[in-house]
Structures are given as structure tokens and as C-alpha cells.
Chain A
Amino acid sequence: MKYTPKEITEEVNVTPTHPLVNFGYLVGTVIVSLILLYALMGLAVDLVVPRLSRETEIKIGNALLPIALAQFGDDELSDDTRVDYIESVIQPLVGDDLQDLPLTIHLMDTDIANAAIIAGGHVFVTTGLLEESESENELGFILGHELGHLASRDALRGLGRSLFILLGSLALGGASSGGQTSPLLSTTLDLQSLHYSRSQENAADRYGLTTTVQQYGHAGYALDFFQRNSEIEPDFLPEYVLTHPLSKNRIEDLETFATSQNWALVGPLKPLPENIECPNFTCPTNQ
């Protein structure tokens, strides 16, 4: 047996693809499949959301509540009589479609004027909003608008893809076991980033105006909040860069809508109770 030295010149053990080409293929494939998955989830959301039962919706709402409270500053005024007042404003606005969903009012102590609603009928109103509101008509419209979101389940749709994680963890019983929200949920659900599409906003606006007109008999003063907003909103920015439609456009849209429904655009103002900016309607006397 003799040895013949022979050099192996072919590199058979290394695939001759250039690493960057291979990398490009990998990144491309992963991105394309993620986009497909995202689109599929979006379709699934539209299929699933209208079919969820009220009980499931309430369960989801309860699971989300701690996160939502935290995002509003976690400073809830639960023993305040103003909560009863808000309840008295919102209850008459509730239409037949929401009768089976009990509403819970959460008055949050923060200066930012905001109102929001999450699945399961949790309504958030900030003290900042109460201070800024000038009439009950205006407050009623804002609450009606939020009810519109609730009625069309926009909040659930907005949760969108995270909804499946939520449903999954509800099914596994992990979402609200012992009042503890799983850390997974709080990282996937950011309510701040939850904003609605323009058409969802417009639909909610119309819903809000309809209920307001039914309650107060006219649309007067309802749009004051938008009116004030439109004065401070920059009008040089194109609308598509903003998360909400421009207030100016919303007012226009709603006025056209009101006219087409033959609603009165003016009417008597229903004032807010006095001292609404102070806890329990009692302001310190030294003011």
C-alpha cells in the first residue's frame, strides 16, 4: 500500500453562495412571512371580533383594566360624587345595542383632558376633561362618541393582533388569575398606541351626535370641544400624519350629517353642575 499525496482543491463542504446573498434571502423570507402573518391576523380580527360574546368581551375588559388604569396615572377617584354625575349623563345616551353591557365609570385624577373606553364597558374620564368642558351637551357628545367606539367594538379591533394572545391567555386562565395581569399582556398591549382609523372615528362621531340629539333635542354646543381644538391645531400639517382626524374636518362632517338628518344645530345650553372641577362638587372656600 503506497501513499500518493493529493491535494483537495474543491471546497465541497462550504456552499458556494455568497454570505450576503444568503443573508438577503433570509431577511426577505422572514419579512415576507411576517407581513403575510400580520395580514392574516388582521383578517382574523375582523372575522372574530363581531362574533365574540358579551361575556368574553367583559372578561377581556377586566383583564385589561389594570393596564388601562396604570396608563391613566393609576389615580382613580372612586368615592367621588362626580362619578354619579357622569353616570347620570352617560346612562340616557346608552342605546338599545348596548343595554346588555353594564358600564363602569372610572374618574381619573389627571390634568390631561381625555376620555376613553375599553372593552367590557369600562369608561375612563379624566378630571382634566371635566374642568375643560363648558356644557353638559359637550360632555354628553364626548361620552356618546366613546359609546360609539364601544358599540362597534373598535377597542377590540384596535387591540387586533394582540387580541389573539389575550384570548389565548384567557382560555388558559392566566390573564386575570388572582387579579394579577401576566407580564406578557402588559408588554403586548400598549393602550397609548391604540388609535382608531379615520373611518372608525367618523362613525363614532356620528353615533355620538345621534345619541346627543336624541337626549338633548338639538346638536347645539355639542361640538364645542372640537371647536376649541381646531383653534389650536396646526392646519399646515396634512391630515394623514395625525392619529386623529383634524377637528375642523370632523366639525364639517358632523354639521353636514346633522343637516341631512334635519337636526337643529342650535338649542338651549344645559350647563354643567357648579364646582365640577372640585372633588365631590365642593371647592375649598378660601378661593
Chain B
Amino acid sequence: MLDLLILLILLAVGYGFGSYAEQKHYKSIRKRERATLHVPIITFGAKQSMPDAQETELFVGSVVVASDYFKTFALALRNLIGGRVVSYESLLDRGRREALLRMKESAIAWGASELANVRIETSSLSQGRGLISIEVIAYGTGIR
């Protein structure tokens, strides 16, 4: 009985704080995406003639996002049934956009007019069943 109560409390806390943080994060992501929209990021540029540029520089943006208890529990249930893990899609989406934004923002601060040949990698830092967190790294060449 007590175990169940603790579980419910953890779920409620996980859901409450998790979804609040997620909404706040999405709000900030959208705002910053709009603000940095004028600088193009492209995934090609390796085998083309180089655009006229004075300088180039490597830019990396990375972020580690952790799952909350609610999401982890939903995943555990989902593992029994199989199918789309809805709760984790937003986690990854957030991580990816955040990493891209960090790369872009540091490039803009440097004065880049374009980011070419951008690559994105995702890796999991999860250990067994406990802590679940994901690292997303985005990197590309800034052109000035």
C-alpha cells in the first residue's frame, strides 16, 4: 500500500514538474528559433565549390536531457505492449532543437552568415533501468 502511494507521488511529481519544464522549454525553443531564423543551416556543402568566405570555424552545440519519472514509467509500460513511445518523442525533439539552437547561437555570436554541412548525433547515457538521459550533439561549419 505504502509502495503504491510512493509510486503515485513520484508519478505525480514527475508529471507535474516534467510537463511544466517541457512547456517552458518549448516556449523558449520557439522564440529562439524565430530569432535565429535568418541564418541558414544546411546539411550539404562538403562537395560543392566553397561559397565566398573570409573565415570558417567549427561550431558544436550539445545538450543532455533527462527523462522524468512519469516518462520512464510510461516507457516501462510501453515496453510490455510495444509501439510508439509518445512520451519520449518530445524529449528527443526538445534535445535536438536545443542542440541545433546552441550551435546556431554560438555561430551567430561569432558573426556567421551560414552554417554548412551540419551533422546531428544522438546517444544515450542511460544506465540499465535507472537514470535515462540522452545527449544530442549538433555540429557544422560556420562561414563568415
Contacts and interface: CB of A to CB of B under 8 A. Distances in A.
Direct contact of A and B (CB under 8 A): yes
A17 B90 CA distance: 11
B87 A19 contact: yes
B81 A29 contact: yes
Q: How large is the interface on A (under 10, 10 to 19, 20 to 34, 35 or more residues)?
A: 10 to 19
B86 A5 contact: no
Contacts of B81: 26, 29-30
Contact of A22 (B19, B74, B92, B114): B74
A26 B84 contact: no
A7 to B, nearest CB: 6
Contacts of A5: 37-38, 40
Contacts of A14: 86, 89-90, 93
Interface string B8-37: 000000010001000000000000011001
B37 A19 contact: no
A30 B86 contact: no
B22 to A, nearest CB: 9
B70 A23 contact: yes
Contacts of B74: 19, 22-23, 26
Interface string A1-33: 001011100010111010110110011011001
17 contacts: A5-B38, A11-B93, A13-B89, A13-B93, A14-B89, A15-B89, A17-B86, A19-B19, A20-B15, A22-B74, A22-B86, A23-B70, A23-B77, A23-B87, A26-B74, A26-B77, A26-B78
4 pairs of A and B residues whose beta carbons are closest in the complex: A26-B77, A3-B40, A5-B37, A13-B93
